[in-house]
Amino acid sequence: MPISKNRSQTNVFYAFAFMGVVMAVFTVGYHLGGWSWSDSFYMVVITAFSVGYGEVVPITDPWLRTWTIVLILFGCTGIIFVTGTLVQWLTEAQIQRALGGKRMENEIEKLTNHAIICGYGRIGRMIATQLQAGGIPFVIVDQATDRVAEVRDAGFLTMQGEATDESVLKAAGISRARVLATVLPNDAANVFITLSARNMNPGIQIIARGEVPSTERKLLQAGANRVVLPAHIGADRIAHLILHPNTRDLIGGKTKSSIDFDHHLTELGLDLEEIEIGAGSPWVHKRISEVETGTAGRMLPVAILRKEGATDLNPNPTAMLMPGDALVVMRRVLRRATS
């Protein structure tokens, strides 16, 4: 069992404390023998460190000679103690770092059907947290030493290096991985990583981040299965909250379930929409059944947000829409045809 880092640091502390006590005690001893403080301290230093200079003051007193002999024994022992503990501390740090890196490499080599996250910025941290909660094995690739240390402190598997380097992707197990998410803030790097990953593993699912809309087409051409534009998603979310402030409250606000619900709706080509029922609305003083009939089933009423503040979930077909109410419906999202 390797000696812990804390124990090594404790030994270094004890060694320096021992030398401090030795130097203080013997300096006081020489001073009591009639020497000045500077001469006493100088004598202790050159004796303890075995410099080999001559005596500061000729020693004829048998007591001071005995005192000097004892100083030689304790001083040399203390220096050996300090040197040994420092070497042990530095060596163990290097050994533990090497063993830790080797152990991590072995764990990565055992992974199959895992995920690779390229970049440990804000988005990379969120992805890692979600994958850990979902029980999905993953490896994080990042070139920054401080971020790699942060990943290791969090207990995640990591590879330090440029994700654009194929040897790094290979070491991360790209050939055995199920999905790769490249979420670097550099669009050019994400395109290059996507190209490399698709070439190394034609069957892998690639999810790429794009900073500008024009990059989406390039990433798809490079081999990405999905492209995520964080800025676009954020702007769309804010605009939706402005236009339809109450709709998402029906499905739990910011909870994980609401995020999953939104995602599944999008996948199915559906969306929630809030329709304000004003005095001039064609649906004012209409029943829910009449709304369903009038739209030929294109809109499914989900809830009525009453003017007074109440909410009618799954409203009865006979429920009446009044001025000032808001009707939340589920409708199909028209998708642009692709060639």
What is the Cα 252 distance to its own chain's centre? 26
**Do 168 and 162 form a contact (C-beta atoms < 8 A)?**
yes
pLDDT at 108 over 80: yes
pLDDT confidence of 237, banded at 50, 70, 90? low
CA distance 43 to 119: 58
Q: What is the model's pLDDT at position 275? A: 84
pLDDT at 278 over 70: yes
- pLDDT tens digits, one per residue of 311-328: 787 788 899 999 988 888
Architecture of domain 111-232: 3-Layer(aba) Sandwich (3.40)
Instruction: Average the pLDDT over each of 67-76, 132-141, 170-179, 267-276 and give the range with the smallest value.
Output: 267-276
Q: For the chain, what are the domain ranges?
A: 5-107, 111-232, 244-332
pLDDT at 85 over 70: yes
Up-side HSE of residue 317: CA atoms within 13 Å toward CB? 4
Give the SS3 label for residue 207.
Answer: strand
* 321 vs 275 pLDDT, higher one: 321
244-332, superfamily in CATH? Answer: Regulator of K+ conductance, C-terminal domain (3.30.70.1450)
Q: How many residues does the chain have?
A: 339
Q: What is the model's pLDDT at position 244? A: 61
CA distance 147 to 159: 11
Query: C-alpha angle with apex 181: 120 to 147, nearest 5 degrees?
Result: 10
pLDDT at 1 over 50: no
**Do 282 and 326 form a contact (C-beta atoms < 8 A)?**
no
- pLDDT tens digits, one per residue of 16-68: 888 899 899 999 988 888 888 988 899 888 888 888 777 788 887 888 888 88
Token match 């942060």: residue? 150
Q: What is the model's pLDDT at position 333? A: 60
Mean pLDDT score, 75-92: 82
pLDDT confidence of 293, banded at 50, 70, 90? confident
Residue 123 CB contacts under 8 Å (≥ 6 apart), including other chains: 183, 209, 230
Q: What is the share, in percent, of the chain residues with pLDDT greater than 70?
A: 81
What CATH number has the domain spanning 5-107? Answer: 1.10.287.70
Question: Cα Rg for the chain, rounded, in angstroms?
Answer: 36
In the chain, what is the straight-line distance between the N-terminal and C-terminal CA atoms, in Å?
63
| Average pLDDT score over the chain | 81
DSSP 2: P
Instruction: Average the pLDDT over each of 63-67, 141-145, 188-192, 235-239 and give the range with the smallest value.
Output: 235-239
